[in-house]
Chains A and B, each alone.
Chain A
Amino acid sequence: MILHGWGRYPTVDGKVYHPASPDEVRHLLHSHSDGVTPRGLGRSYGDSSLGGHMLDCRRLDHLLAFDARKGLLYCEAGVSLNDILEVFVPKGWFLPVTPGTRFVTVGGAIASDVHGKNHHVNGCFSEHIEFIELCLDEERILRCSRDEHPDLFRATCGGMGLSGMILSAAIQLKQIKSSFIDQTTYKANNLEESLELFEIHEDKPYSVAWIDCIAQGRSLGRSLLMTGDHAENGGLVPGKGERFTLPVDMPSMLLNKHSIKLFNTLYYHRVSGTSVSHRVHYEPFFYPLDSISDWNRMYGKNGFTQYQFVIPKAAGKKALSDILKTIAASGKGSFLAVLKAFGKRNENLLSFPMEGYTLALDFKIEKNLFPLLDSLDAMVLDHGGRLYLTKDARMCQETFRLGYPEWTKFQNVRERYGVRRGFQSLQSKRLGLD
């Protein structure tokens, strides 16, 4: 079966299995001891969830227990964040951390140690995980947490499925009084103002900025910063769900320099004053893109890649503006460029966030793209930054090792638990994590 990640690049012709119980996972690991790749909903952009033998978690999708007093949910790894929201928002609970799409699994969210708009206050997804049940091979299912097999826990959160198959996990949900978000949008005329806005609003639980990465000169880095917090009232109303599907691949020609520029300009001028506030449902606030299913087809049949890096706070403005200038000059800038200030890093060996700034932008796959990205890699590394593994489809081994110096510890943990051979992906092979 031909499969790909969310970016539709690269593709793999592999076998997919759908284990429906822990026992079936054990049997599959026994019969494929030369390496499997766990897979959730395939929302990682590149090749993290691709391999010759993939274990798809869609049938491990049961809620197993809920402590309504504490808000602690114990569920299988294939449960989607969408499912959790549907069941628990009406009961007054929300995800402690959520990425920009709700169509990811709990297993995928742990394996990528995802972050949301609240990283600066609440950290990554794993920081709200009480424990994980991990299947290592035919014989061993281990429970790991900060107290039990902590080394394995630190390797698994953010470990891209390379330390075992997550079967289930316990997640601490967060109490809410309303399914609405009080949102304010601020306008920043350049990069400096954008970064200042993050400082000013660092006490707001959610914040993210949308950057116009085509703008140059004095407007370089102009952005709209959106902050938000859960409203105190308005009711616990479930979302409306998906609305619109992109049925076919759009001709990638439609996405060119001019259309992107037009889009960016229109979007930026939506906010006419310096700020506007309103109350919105959590769905458009957190998941604006989920209202168009299969929007990834917009980039045409060759697919696209998302380039997301983080640079330390100290490197801040200088590094960002160098990188933005390079992108603007290339004329390959993207539809979406999201800027966010991260809080402190956690102790996981391969988690992406570190205190500083992260920028994410899409590039459609085309000739001469990779040389551009290689030059961006060099700038990111120069400033002490790194790239997000769950978005990556192309970085080289060297770039990975420099960005993630704890990779050797990660390999040691895999070695210690005997999972180095058993769990692999196209990405792990590319990055020398075999």
Chain B
Amino acid sequence: MLNILIIGATSAIAGEVAKRFAAEGARLYLLGRNTERLGRIAADLRIRGAESVQTTGFDAKDIESYEQILEKAHASLERFDVVLVAHGTLGDQKKCETSVEKTLHEIQINAVSTIAMLTIIANMMVKQKCGTLAIISSVAGDRGRPSNYVYGSAKAAVTTFCEGLRGRLFKSGVHVLTIKPGMVDTPMTEGMELPPMLMAKPEQVARDIVCAIRKKSDIIYTPWYWRYVMSGIVHIPEKFFKKMSL
């Protein structure tokens, strides 16, 4: 039976991952800012088979609170077998371009908060010498594009941070998984005019995540074809890339 901490547990993707673990009888600890919704999610996961589900309010903006929240979670679960970091925002790129405040807010939620979280959790996991730290980054972090480079650069920071962390924690037997989803049909992308053919379902992404946790993969793209899409995009020379409207 696994002890699982989920940060940003009201996320659609995280929710589907939680259902999978619940069906196997996991003990879950959920952090999120919407506690009313967390309550309903917890009820749902219990019925689906989770041995226990606890919830705690958490706002990514409030970095001061992290240490205490995480210690409480660790004390309650006794051990983190899996930690999934899922919170994030996809802000309005256009608005960010004319607002320092909005830009820094995006960086704050998507990069700074995640990195702060990981710094604390990493040390807890080093002590327990086992477990998986799974972080949802994004294909958007693989290359900066005019349409979403604020979000993309935050995710790039997370990806690089995890790369380094993986090497460090590897020596303590802790597995670090970087998850790079493509476009997923979740509240985050709601209302955006995206090609339906390229929109993955959160269920499908969750299946890939659980599988990667089991296999102890280092980096996954989900759905799989994004690995090839991104490897193409990454190799376009900058002098052409800058002229493309992506």
Contact = CB atoms under 8 A, between A and B. Distances in A.
Given A18-B187, A18-B190, A62 B41 contact: yes
B44 A62 contact: yes
A141 B187 CA distance: 25
A59 B202 CA distance: 12
A87 interface: yes
A66 B47 contact: yes
A176 interface: no
A20 B37 contact: yes
Interface string B22-44: 01000000000000110011011
A211 to B, nearest CB: 36
Given A59-B187, A62-B41, A21 B36 contact: yes
Contacts of B102: none
A18 B202 CA distance: 16
B47 A63 contact: yes
Contacts of B190: 18
A62 B43 contact: yes
Interface string A64-78: 111000000000100
Highest count of chain B CB atoms <10 Å: which of A59, A62, A87: A62
Nearest to B41: A62
B105 interface: no
Interface residues on B, range: 10 to 19
Contacts of A76: 40
Contacts of A64: 40, 43-44, 47
Interface string B129-152: 000000000000000000000000
A87 B44 CA distance: 11
A59 B16 CA distance: 12
A325 to B, nearest CB: 43
A65 B187 contact: no
A103 to B, nearest CB: 13
Interface residues of A, number: 12
B48 interface: yes
A65 B37 contact: no
Contact of A63 (B36, B37, B48, B187): B48
A65 B43 contact: yes
Nearest to A59: B187
Contacts of B36: 21, 23
Contacts of A66: 47
Interface string A236-270: 00000000000000000000000000000000000
A376 B23 CA distance: 49
Contacts of A65: 43, 47
Highest count of chain B CB atoms <10 Å: which of A23, A59, A76: A59
A18 B37 CA distance: 14
B187 A87 contact: no
Given A59-B187, A63-B48, A87-B48, A21 B43 contact: no
Nearest to A23: B36
Interface in A279-319: none
A232 to B, nearest CB: 25
Contacts of B44: 62-64
Highest count of chain A CB atoms <10 Å: which of B43, B47, B187: B47
Contacts of A18: 187, 190
B47 A21 contact: no
Contact of A87 (B37, B40, B41, B47): B47
Interface string B182-206: 0000010010000000000000000
A65 B48 CA distance: 10
A191 to B, nearest CB: 44
Interface string A35-64: 000000000000000000000000100111
Contacts of B47: 63-66, 87
A76 B190 CA distance: 21
Nearest to A66: B47
Contacts of A20: 37, 187
B30 to A, nearest CB: 13
Interface in A7-48: 18, 20-21, 23
A65 B47 CA distance: 7
B186 to A, nearest CB: 10
Interface in B1-54: 23, 36-37, 40-41, 43-44, 47-49
B10 to A, nearest CB: 8
A23 B48 CA distance: 25
Highest count of chain B CB atoms <10 Å: which of A63, A66, A76: A63
A290 to B, nearest CB: 16
Contacts of A21: 36-37, 40
Contacts of A59: 187
22 contacts: A18-B187, A18-B190, A20-B187, A21-B36, A21-B40, A62-B40, A62-B41, A62-B43, A62-B44, A63-B43, A63-B44, A63-B47, A63-B48, A64-B43, A64-B44, A64-B47, A65-B43, A65-B47, A66-B47, A76-B40, A87-B23, A87-B47
Interface of B: 23, 36-37, 40-41, 43-44, 47-49, 187, 190
Given A64-B43, A65-B43, 16 more contacts: A18-B190, A20-B37, A20-B187, A21-B37, A23-B36, A62-B40, A62-B41, A64-B40, A64-B44, A64-B47, A65-B47, A66-B47, A76-B40, A87-B23, A87-B47, A87-B49
